[in-house]
Amino acid sequence: MVLTIAAAIFVFGLLVLVHELGHFITAKLTGMRVDEFAIGFGPKLLSFTRGETVYSLRAIPLGGFNDIAGMDPANNEAGSRGYCEKPVLSRMIVILAGSIMNFILPLVIFFGIFFFVGVSTPNPEPVFGTVIAGKAADQAGLQDGDRIISLDGKAIANWTEFVDNVKDNEGTPIKVVAQRGDETIETTMTPVYDAQAKKAMVGVMSSVDTHHPGLVEAAGLAVQKTYMIVAMMLDALLQIVLKLSGSELAGPIGVAQMAGEVAQMGFVPLLNFAAFLSLNLGIVNLFPIPALDGGHFVTLCVEAVRGKPMSPKALEYTQKVGIVLLILLMVLATKNDIVRVFTGG
């Protein structure tokens, strides 16, 4: 539980910090007055003032905000430094900067992992690279580095054969013979069905072969991986829309649970998870839904075409619609989280 909470705070905190920094930096660069830069919501835990801006850390680490003067034209006390008084292009830059930073963060994370840790490819040998604590293999006494010799008396020559002999044996004890150095280990493990993977699993990852790329190659691989993940996410979102199904949506509870599970594998997998989630946040925030950055950008595009802002009543109406949509999505995601928790998915 402690690891899950710590991992969730780290992931949420990192993503929110980077996103809000995008808005903050571009607001400052375009001459806007920022009254407060906050990470989290609710009561203040820590705060200090530098110049005209209050920097605060708040109790609920599920978001953050920039209090930019003049966001409401009717209450602009900053004069020409108010958001509403700046050119449309400046406001567009500020609105998009948060999501842009969420795309930049994975590039930095992936580059760091590739350059400092290396590029890992699965080893085809039936050797455990990671045994996840508390899962079936760990409960059976198996450890990182163990080589599987046989399952239920059947010789295992490679990792694919190991997976094939586990995936369809949910709840069925399997006799395992493994090699650990000069010692032969005999034990029994029982695969457990994983709803997300849609197969029985025992909580292990294969060993890997590691290649250490140079500076340029690592940068290229980071761009390539980021592009592949974005393409995969867009395809998944398209399928959700086409099937009108939100069963795959996860809310804060689900994300926290996943963060805890990934954290058990180590800090590098947790960084990979944070990068993946950052791209997800960047894409979702660009949706043309009022109350999201994408919705604000659409209203700015309308203003650019019309040559004047939308009326306050129209803006209020669209914001209310956007908030209702977000609440409905959050309710659906939370429902999915609760179902997963109670069904073990």
**Residues with a known catalytic role:** 20
Half-sphere exposure of 27 (CA within 13 A, CB side): 26
Count of other CB atoms within 10 angstroms of residue 302:
14
What HEC string does 220-261 produce? HHHHHHHHHHHHHHHHHHHHHHHHCCCCCCCCHHHHHHHHHH
> Do residues 151 and 175 lie in contact, with contact meaning Cβ atoms separated by under 8 Å?
yes
| Largest interatomic CA distance in the chain | 79
Token duo for residue 11: 């992931």
- Measured CA to CA, the distance from residue 272 to residue 298 in angstroms comes to 31
Count of other CB atoms within 10 angstroms of residue 88:
14
User: Which helix (H) or strand (E) covers residue 35, if one does?
Assistant: strand 34-50
Residue 56: which residues within 8 A CB-CB, separation 6 or more? 36, 37, 38, 39, 44, 45, 46, 47
Question: For residue 164, which of 177, 187, 178, 148 has the smallest C-alpha distance?
Answer: 148
Label residue 41 left, alpha or beta by phi (over 0 means left) and psi (-120 to 50 means alpha).
Answer: beta
